[in-house]
Amino acid sequence: MTQLLDRNFQGLQHLGVPVTDIEISKTFYARLGFRPVMEKSFADDQGPVTAVMVQRGSMVIELYQQPGERREEVLRRRDGHIDHVAFSVQDIDAAFEELREAGFEPQQPAPVELPFWEKGCKYFSIRGPGGETLEFNQIL
């Protein structure tokens, strides 16, 4: 039996960590040897979101600060601050179709494009059995 995403799956891309103060978080991770490799802001339905990818060696962490109630919810958390695990794929549309056809339920109706990296990226996510978010991501 062929494994899902056998040829398309490239491994771990990044861990997503919601933060309450992006500047303090950037400084903290810099002290651990991480350097910013991408920073973008964009608007969503509640206001501005800022995302910063920091990297040390091959390890990438997405620090992101959300507006409004979502930021307040992060402030109330005691554990579980890693929000999602992102996997890199070569072809996001093929990955989306393959997982959907295998019975997984993507959380988005189609891959979503964001203005991250030099040429953008596309992603979609599914939920694991414990409610964890697993993101599939292609840097364009």
| Contacting residues for 97 by C-beta, under 8 A, at least 6 apart | none
| Contacting residues for 50 by C-beta, under 8 A, at least 6 apart | 22, 39, 40, 41, 64, 65
CA–CA gap between residue 122 and residue 116 (Å, rounded): 9
User: Is residue 26 very low, low, confident or very high in pLDDT (cuts 50, 70, 90)?
Assistant: very high
Look at residue 93 and tell me if it is in a domain: yes
Residue that has been written with the tokens 């295998």 in this structure: 102
> Which amino acid, one-letter code, is at 5?
L
Determine the pLDDT at residue 80: 67
Residues of the domain holding 133:
9-139
Look at residue 3 and tell me if it is in a domain: no
CA–CA gap between residue 45 and residue 93 (Å, rounded): 25
Q: How high does pLDDT run on average in the chain?
A: 88
Structure tokens at 30: 């810099």
21-32 average pLDDT score: 90
Where residue 130 sits, what CATH number does that domain have?
3.10.180.10
Determine the pLDDT at residue 67: 92
Look at residue 79 and tell me if it is in a domain: yes
Look at residue 4 and tell me if it is in a domain: no
Look at residue 34 and tell me if it is in a domain: yes
Comparing 47 with 10, which gets the higher pLDDT? 47
Look at residue 28 and tell me if it is in a domain: yes
Over residues 71-126, the pLDDT tens digits come to 888 888 876 678 788 889 999 999 999 999 988 999 999 999 999 999 999 999 99
Look at residue 118 and tell me if it is in a domain: yes
Determine the pLDDT at residue 5: 74
Closest CA relative to residue 139, chosen from 52, 13, 12, 23: 13
Look at residue 47 and tell me if it is in a domain: yes
- Domain tally for the chain? 1
